C-alpha cells in the first residue's frame, strides 16, 4: 500500500484557524514507523519537524531554530501543542510537498528502510509515483501569505521540479519565496565547511542553521 504523510490531515491547512502570513514547506514525513536497533518505532514525530530526539542526521533542529529567529526560547523539547501555539501566535502555517508516495510498498524491506531513513535524496532516487500537495491552490486560498520558505535546497532537479510551479506563482504575485538550509542533521556538511573556514569562530550546528536562516528571513 502507498506510504501516506503522517500528518496528512494538516497538509491542506484546513485545520489552520488563523490567517497565516508565512508558509513553511517541508518535503515528506512518512507514516510508516522504522524500527531502530532495539526494535522500537523510529518515527516518533508528534507534528511537523518533530523528530527531535533521533540519533544522527534524521534529528531535526527546526523547533530550536525557528523560535530563536523570533527572539523566543528554544522549543525543541516542548510538546507539539506548544509548537502549534507558537505558529498560531506568529501566523505561520506549515505543510509539505508530498502527500503520499504511491509506489511505496510497506512489505518491501528496502522501501521500509529507505523511508525510515528520512533522507530526501533517497525519496528522489527510489520512487516515481507521488501525490503532491497543491501548494499553489493553498496560496490562492490564503492571500494573506506573503512569505514562503522551503526547508531544503532546490538545486537537485527532483526537488526543483516539485517547487517550480510554487516559485512561478510566488514571483507572479510578489510573494517572497526562499529556499532555506535544511534544519536536519544533514546541514552538518555546510556547518563543517564553515567551521574549517572560521577556526576562531566556530558554530554549533543549531547556531549555524540559525545564522543562515537569519540572513534570508523576512523582517520581523
Report the CATH number that the domain containing residue 94 is assigned in CATH. Answer: 3.40.470.10
In the chain, the number of structural domains is 1
> pLDDT tens, position by position, for the chain (220 residues)?
799 999 999 999 999 999 999 999 999 999 886 545 444 456 778 999 987 765 555 578 999 999 999 999 999 999 999 999 999 999 999 999 999 999 999 889 899 888 888 889 999 999 999 999 999 999 999 999 999 999 998 888 999 999 999 999 999 999 999 999 999 988 999 999 999 999 999 999 999 999 999 999 999 9
Residue 113 maps to a domain: yes
| Residue numbers of the domain that contains 170 | 3-214
Q: Domain for residue 220, yes or no?
A: no
Within a domain: 31: yes
User: Which residue pairs, CB below 8 angstroms and at least 24 apart, start in 140-143?
Assistant: 141/13, 142/13, 142/19, 142/20, 142/23, 142/93
Residue 219 in domain: no
The answer as to whether 51 is a domain residue is yes
Amino acid at each position: 500500500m502507498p506510504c501516506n504523510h503522517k500528518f496528512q490531515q494538516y497538509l491542506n491547512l484546513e485545520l489552520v484557524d488563523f490567517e497565516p502570513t508565512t508558509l513553511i514547506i517541508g518535503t515528506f514525513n512518512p507514516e510508516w514507523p522504522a524500527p531502530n536497533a532495539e526494535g522500537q518505532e523510529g518515527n516518533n514525530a508528534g507534528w511537523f519537524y518533530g523528530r527531535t530526539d533521533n540519533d544522527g542526521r534524521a534529528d531535526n533542529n527546526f523547533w530550536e531554530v525557528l523560535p530563536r529567529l523570533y527572539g523566543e526560547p528554544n522549543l525543541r523539547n516542548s510538546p507539539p501543542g506548544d509548537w502549534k501555539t507558537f505558529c498560531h501566535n506568529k501566523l505561520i502555517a506549515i505543510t509539505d510537498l508530498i502527500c503520499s508516495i504511491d509506489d511505496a510498498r510497506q512489505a518491501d524491506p528496502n522501501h521500509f528502510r529507505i523511508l525510515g531513513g528520512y533522507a530526501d535524496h533517497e525519496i528522489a532516487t527510489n520512487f516515481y509515483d507521488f501525490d503532491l500537495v497543491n501548494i499553489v491552490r493553498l496560496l490562492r486560498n490564503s492571500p494573506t501569505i506573503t512569505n514562503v520558505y522551503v526547508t531544503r535546497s532546490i538545486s537537485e532537479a527532483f526537488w526543483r521540479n516539485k517547487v517550480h510551479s510554487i516559485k512561478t506563482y510566488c514571483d507572479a504575485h510578489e510573494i517572497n519565496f526562499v529556499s532555506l538550509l535544511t534544519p536536519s542533521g544533514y546541514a552538518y556538511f555546510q556547518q563543517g565547511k564553515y567551521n574549517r573556514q572560521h577556526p576562531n569562530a566556530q558554530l554549533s550546528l543549531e547556531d549555524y542553521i540559525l545564522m543562515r536562516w537569519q540572513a534570508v528571513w523576512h523582517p520581523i
